[in-house]
């Protein structure tokens, strides 16, 4: 009996061990995937490790240690809290930290001096008063939206430094030395973090924003290019579309506002790099982003008809099929071309043949609706549904045009390269009279 119990325990222990091993393997695979999805994460981790090891040198070498003493730990602390994934975020935090430390240290020293003048009795009361007033005001300033967007961290550090300097000064008469040490170690830490961040495989948040805006356009384009085929062939086999299909990539665009705003705020801290100048028009990126999101809202509405259970019979659908497929795919192509020229930082022709084609198809679709759709002997509800799809497609053309205008404006503001237009009128069998400028860079 005892032996059987023992066996049982062993089996249990083995099972537990197996499960633990499974968990660990799972965790390892998850880490591996994180690294593979974006290898810059591994590089970033190594960069942080390097910057921290470098700063630790401050403690190793006697002369530096004698200079800064225990205050050298501020440098380590600074590296840890300042070093972010992107250059913009790192510089933003570094500058915030340095500037506010300098100002707050000066004020803290002043407050300490003022308090000392009032004698032994008054000193702690005055310092407590100063701390209370300063902390109250600075904390309230953090609610100002413009401050919050760019200087929130600076205000936090201001609060911190002022308290440390003025309060610790009460004990330590070397308050000026303390302030100087804090400022200089923080400058060393920030400098180390920024240097490593900028010079070893930098991740520019401006470039991230640039790419995200282009990617978002591509996500919409992918949906639009596929939509026609998906929608008009769905009822043949009577199946309802799988909601988790590859077309659903646009969903992330619906809620991308927050991350775009943050990126644009941080991008403004970055110095010029590559083809991005210091005063790159980040605000115009936000405008393109907003228009892309508005287009995504229309696509969300369109997607609804794709996944809806109440599918219209094929004979009603086929009335609007031809021009609808053209509108959708041409708008998709136009968006894809805009995204491509944005990625390559080239100016695309403002005379987009795809938009022109989709507009022609829209006229055709309107004619079809006028002449046949409402005269069909079908259930009016089905007719109305197809009408709603058509109506959304008209709006998507309008959105695409707006996006195109915004991208062209961005291209001129950001001095994107001109691409020599190659005139190839035959290539485009368009109904417009003049020859089209075809963008040669795709």
Q: Which residues, listed in sequence order, are joined to residue 422 by a DSSP beta bridge?
A: 438
* Cα 149-152-156 angle, rounded to 5 deg: 175
In angstroms, what is the minimal distance from the CB of 347 to a copy of itself?
30
DSSP 8-state symbol, 415: T
* Token pair listed for 199: 């010079």
Based on the shown chain and the rule CB under 8 A, indicate whether residue 95 belongs to the binding site for a copy of itself: no
Binding test (CB under 8 A) with a copy of itself, winner from 14, 20, 31, 440: 31
Contacts of 386 (CB under 8 A, 6+ apart): 312, 316, 317, 319, 320, 373
Based on the shown chain and the rule CB under 8 A, indicate whether residue 180 belongs to the binding site for a copy of itself: no
Contacts of 222 (CB under 8 A, 6+ apart): 246, 247, 249, 250, 332
Cβ proximity to a copy of itself: between 292 and 348 the closer is 292
DSSP 8-state symbol, 72: G
Cβ proximity to a copy of itself: between 9 and 38 the closer is 38
Based on the shown chain and the rule CB under 8 A, indicate whether residue 103 belongs to the binding site for a copy of itself: no
Residues 309-368, interacting with a copy of itself (CB under 8 A):
366
Binding test (CB under 8 A) with a copy of itself, winner from 171, 199, 237, 239: 171
DSSP 8-state symbol, 375: G
Contacts of 407 (CB under 8 A, 6+ apart): 288, 338, 341, 342, 348
Site string for a copy of itself, 121-160 (x = CB under 8 A): ---x--xx--xxxxxxx-xx--xx-----------x--xx
In angstroms, what is the minimal distance from the CB of 258 to a copy of itself?
4
Candidate segments 11-19, 31-39, 212-220, 418-426, binder of a copy of itself by CB under 8 A = 31-39
Inter-residue contact 87 to 270 (CB < 8 Å): yes
Residues 42-71, interacting with a copy of itself (CB under 8 A):
42, 44-46, 48-50, 52-53, 56, 59-60, 65, 70
* Token pair listed for 30: 């998850």
DSSP 8-state symbol, 172: -
Residues 238-267, interacting with a copy of itself (CB under 8 A):
254-255, 257-259
Residues 362-381, interacting with a copy of itself (CB under 8 A):
366, 369-370, 373-374, 379-381
Binding test (CB under 8 A) with a copy of itself, winner from 11, 14, 25, 34: 34
CA distance 230 to 35: 35
CA distance 302 to 224: 10
CA distance 288 to 441: 21
In angstroms, what is the minimal distance from the CB of 178 to a copy of itself?
10
Candidate segments 15-23, 86-94, 281-289, 294-302, binder of a copy of itself by CB under 8 A = 294-302
Strands 437-438 and 422-423, bridge-based pairing: antiparallel
In angstroms, what is the minimal distance from the CB of 170 to a copy of itself?
6
In angstroms, what is the minimal distance from the CB of 133 to a copy of itself?
7
Cβ proximity to a copy of itself: between 2 and 70 the closer is 70
In angstroms, what is the minimal distance from the CB of 109 to a copy of itself?
16
Positive or negative: CA dihedral 236, 242, 245, 249: positive
Based on the shown chain and the rule CB under 8 A, indicate whether residue 25 belongs to the binding site for a copy of itself: no
In angstroms, what is the minimal distance from the CB of 168 to a copy of itself?
6
DSSP 8-state symbol, 313: P
Instruction: Indicate the angle between helix axes 314-343 and 380-413, nearest 10 degrees.
Output: 10
In angstroms, what is the minimal distance from the CB of 188 to a copy of itself?
14
Based on the shown chain and the rule CB under 8 A, indicate whether residue 102 belongs to the binding site for a copy of itself: no
Binding test (CB under 8 A) with a copy of itself, winner from 41, 241, 273, 344: 41
CA distance 88 to 240: 46
Cβ proximity to a copy of itself: between 33 and 420 the closer is 33
Positive or negative: CA dihedral 253, 255, 257, 259: negative
In angstroms, what is the minimal distance from the CB of 387 to a copy of itself?
3
In angstroms, what is the minimal distance from the CB of 415 to a copy of itself?
31
């Amino acid at each position: 009996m005892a032996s059987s119990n023992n066996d049982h325990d062993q089996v249990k222990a083995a099972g537990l061990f197996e499960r633990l091993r499974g968990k660990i393997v799972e965790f390892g695979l998850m880490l591996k995937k994180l690294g593979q999805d974006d290898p810059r994460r591994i590089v970033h981790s190594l960069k942080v490790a390097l910057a921290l090891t470098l700063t630790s040198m401050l403690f190793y070498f006697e002369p530096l240690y004698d200079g800064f003493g225990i205050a050298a730990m501020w440098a380590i602390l600074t590296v840890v809290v300042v070093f972010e994934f992107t250059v913009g975020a790192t510089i933003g935090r570094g500058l915030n930290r340095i500037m506010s430390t300098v100002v707050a240290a000066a004020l803290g020293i002043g407050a300490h001096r003022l308090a000392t003048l009032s004698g032994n009795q008054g000193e702690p009361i005055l310092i407590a008063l100063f701390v209370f007033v300063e902390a109250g005001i600075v904390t309230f300033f953090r609610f100002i939206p413009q401050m919050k967007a760019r200087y929130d961290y600076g205000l936090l550090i201001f609060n911190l430094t002022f308290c440390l300097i003025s309060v610790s000064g009460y004990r330590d008469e070397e308050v000026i030395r303390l302030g100087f040490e804090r400022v200089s170690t923080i400058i060393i830490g920030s400098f180390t973090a920024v240097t490593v961040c900028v010079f070893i495989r930098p991740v520019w948040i401006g470039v991230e924003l640039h790419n995200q805006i282009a990617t978002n356009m591509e996500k919409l384009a992918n949906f639009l290019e596929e939509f026609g085929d998906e929608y008009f062939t769905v009822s043949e086999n009577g199946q309802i579309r799988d909601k988790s299909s590859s077309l659903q990539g646009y969903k992330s665009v619906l809620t991308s506002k927050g991350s775009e705003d943050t990126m644009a705020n941080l991008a403004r801290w970055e110095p010029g790099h590559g083809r991005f100048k210091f005063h790159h028009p980040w605000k115009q990126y936000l405008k393109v982003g907003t228009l892309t999101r508005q287009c995504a809202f229309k696509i969300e509405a369109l997607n609804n008809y794709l996944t809806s259970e109440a599918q219209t019979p094929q004979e009603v659908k086929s009335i609007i099929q031809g021009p609808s497929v053209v509108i959708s795919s041409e708008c998709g192509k136009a968006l894809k071309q805009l995204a491509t020229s944005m990625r390559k930082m080239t100016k695309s022709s403002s005379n987009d043949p795809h938009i022109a084609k989709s507009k022609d198809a829209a006229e055709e679709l309107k004619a079809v609706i006028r002449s046949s759709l409402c005269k069909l002997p079908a259930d009016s509800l089905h007719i109305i549904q197809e009408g709603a799809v058509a109506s959304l497609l008209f709006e998507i053309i309008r959105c695409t045009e707006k996006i195109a205008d915004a991208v062209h404006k961005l291209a001129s503001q950001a001095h994107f390269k001109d691409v020599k237009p190659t005139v190839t009128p035959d290539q485009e069998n368009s109904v417009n009279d003049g020859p089209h400028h075809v963008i040669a860079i795709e």
